[in-house]
Chain A
């Protein structure tokens, strides 16, 4: 209800101002159509999404391993905790600049900067989960000689899944924002790069068009991938009332 009202208000205000600095919603849609028709939009969306995908996968994997290690062992936690605090408080911009300065304006540096920014968040969330793993199920797994793989897959992952979901959610929204900055600062493709170009010529319609496209894509990921995944991993929590 609020969103349509906002769009109407925006349209009226833009029409009243009649300035290129505030295009109407229709102008934004038009830009979106043009950009998508000439393929620019898809190319840059694709570039950004693939960076998001790679950075996300790496950060989730490394962060989960670190988080489990820190949650399971007091010594590991004591060793890595100061490092974690440091990285958590390091501004994303600093990591990006340092990566570009040290490794050059290359793809690997861009993705690495994003990964380094994201790992501490994943690690902290997963560490919380690893700390709350039920020792009673651990004992059960020991008595019944579960293999390492069985223990991870059958005992740990289901218990960690709410934490992994939280890390995924927070991760995706954080990562795509950082990816845009990384692209703005040092890549020649991607939504961030397009925003940079649009900024230089004060093309607000393009800025809004690209933002809108990206928000839609992220919403699509949420609806098409994350929510079904979450429902699936939570299914056992609400067993149908088949009580015998």
Chain B
């Protein structure tokens, strides 16, 4: 349903190299890689936010509805949750349903700043769901949440994916455990400029472990 033929992207210096990949319905991809390697850059390119990447580089996107869960909630702080959801084209009732789906029933009249970090992120996820996405992009959805909240959100997302088998997902994360719980495919982005070092079915546990080991050691090298 989506074909990536990205020739590269630089911000002064090359960040992203050539990226070729295909995404089909039902793909649950975890995009792993050391921090600062260009994972968000790739996600933005896929979402069509990067104007310097031509539309042909992300073939098929114009036919897709995309839900993007940014690292920050990016809800309009001057609008209630309900109004925020209605801005993407749903009725008030549907907005309420989406909020209930993420565990925020009856929160329609709250302003984003009245919510805790975890709740605001769930509200942003509700907005993703409101567009009935074919492709769900998640940028570090569990970052800076405490383990309990992160676990809840993970279960929530897993439930949403199970309920929508046709939906594809790309989830940026540092954490191999997220991948094991959510993904059926794995992308590993590394190198300078960054390329997909690994891109396949998440079948071979040995390979996954090796990759995660590599990820951890490069994390260590980072810090």
Specify whether A and B are partners.
yes
Report which A residues bind B (CB closer than 8 A): 136-137, 139-140, 142-146, 150, 154-155, 158, 236, 239, 242-244
CA A139 to CA B44, docked complex, whole Å = 9
B87 & A150 in contact (Cβ 8 Å cutoff) = yes
CA A146 to CA B88, docked complex, whole Å = 7
Question: Which B88-117 residues have a C-beta within 8 angstroms of A?
Answer: 88, 107, 110-111, 113-116
9-residue interface stretch from B19-27, B71-79, B160-168, B170-178: B71-79
Q: Determine the chain B residues whose CB is within 8 A of the CB of A154 once the complex forms.
A: 76, 79, 87
A136 & B70 in contact (Cβ 8 Å cutoff) = yes
B49 & A139 in contact (Cβ 8 Å cutoff) = yes
Q: Which of A136, A140, A142, A244 counts the most chain B CB atoms within 10 A?
A: A140
B9 at the binding interface (Cβ < 8 Å): no
Q: Mark B112-153, 1 if CB is under 8 A from A, else 0.
A: 011110010000000100010000000000000000000000
Q: Given the known inter-chain contacts A136-B70, A136-B72, A136-B74, please indicate yes or no for A236 contacting B127, CB distance below 8 A.
A: no
B158 at the binding interface (Cβ < 8 Å): no
B48 & A142 in contact (Cβ 8 Å cutoff) = yes
Extra inter-chain contacts (8) besides given A145-B88, A146-B87, A243-B114, CB under 8 Å: A139-B44, A139-B49, A140-B70, A143-B47, A143-B66, A143-B68, A144-B131, A150-B87
A239 & B111 in contact (Cβ 8 Å cutoff) = yes
Q: Determine the chain A residues whose CB is within 8 A of the CB of B88 once the complex forms.
A: 144-145
B49 & A143 in contact (Cβ 8 Å cutoff) = yes
The 7 A-B residue pairs with the shortest CB-CB distance, nearest first, are A236-B78, A140-B74, A158-B78, A143-B68, A144-B88, A239-B111, A239-B114
A149 to chain B, nearest CB (A): 12
CA A139 to CA B88, docked complex, whole Å = 14
The one of B70, B77, B107, B119 that contacts A139, using a Cβ cutoff of 8 Å: B70
Name 7 interchain pairs, CB-CB below 8 A, sorted by A.
Answer: A140-B74, A154-B76, A154-B79, A236-B78, A239-B111, A242-B114, A243-B114
CA A3 to CA B59, docked complex, whole Å = 71
A239 & B113 in contact (Cβ 8 Å cutoff) = yes
A154 to chain B, nearest CB (A): 6
Q: Determine the chain A residues whose CB is within 8 A of the CB of B66 once the complex forms.
A: 143
A10 to chain B, nearest CB (A): 47
The tally of residues in B whose CB lies under 8 Å from a CB in A reads 25
A144 & B127 in contact (Cβ 8 Å cutoff) = yes
CA A137 to CA B127, docked complex, whole Å = 14
- A161 nearest in chain B by CB position: B78
A159 to chain B, nearest CB (A): 9
- A243 nearest in chain B by CB position: B114
A137 & B87 in contact (Cβ 8 Å cutoff) = no
B11 to chain A, nearest CB (A): 14
CA A155 to CA B119, docked complex, whole Å = 22
CA A230 to CA B116, docked complex, whole Å = 27
- A135 nearest in chain B by CB position: B49
- B73 nearest in chain A by CB position: A140
Q: Given the known inter-chain contacts A142-B48, A143-B66, A144-B131, please indicate yes or no for A137 contacting B113, CB distance below 8 A.
A: no
CA A146 to CA B84, docked complex, whole Å = 11
- A144 nearest in chain B by CB position: B88
Q: Determine the chain B residues whose CB is within 8 A of the CB of A243 once the complex forms.
A: 114, 116
Q: Determine the chain B residues whose CB is within 8 A of the CB of A137 once the complex forms.
A: 74, 76
Q: Determine the chain A residues whose CB is within 8 A of the CB of B47 once the complex forms.
A: 139, 143
B70 to chain A, nearest CB (A): 7
CA A8 to CA B66, docked complex, whole Å = 71
B56 to chain A, nearest CB (A): 18
CA A155 to CA B76, docked complex, whole Å = 7
Question: Which B35-91 residues have a C-beta within 8 angstroms of A?
Answer: 44, 47-49, 66, 68, 70, 72, 74, 76-79, 87-88
Q: Determine the chain B residues whose CB is within 8 A of the CB of A136 once the complex forms.
A: 70, 72, 74
Q: Determine the chain B residues whose CB is within 8 A of the CB of A158 once the complex forms.
A: 76, 78
Q: Determine the chain A residues whose CB is within 8 A of the CB of B68 once the complex forms.
A: 140, 143
- B71 nearest in chain A by CB position: A136
Q: Determine the chain A residues whose CB is within 8 A of the CB of B74 once the complex forms.
A: 136-137, 139-140
Q: Determine the chain A residues whose CB is within 8 A of the CB of B76 once the complex forms.
A: 137, 154-155, 158
A6 to chain B, nearest CB (A): 42
- A242 nearest in chain B by CB position: B114
Q: Determine the chain B residues whose CB is within 8 A of the CB of A144 once the complex forms.
A: 87-88, 127, 131
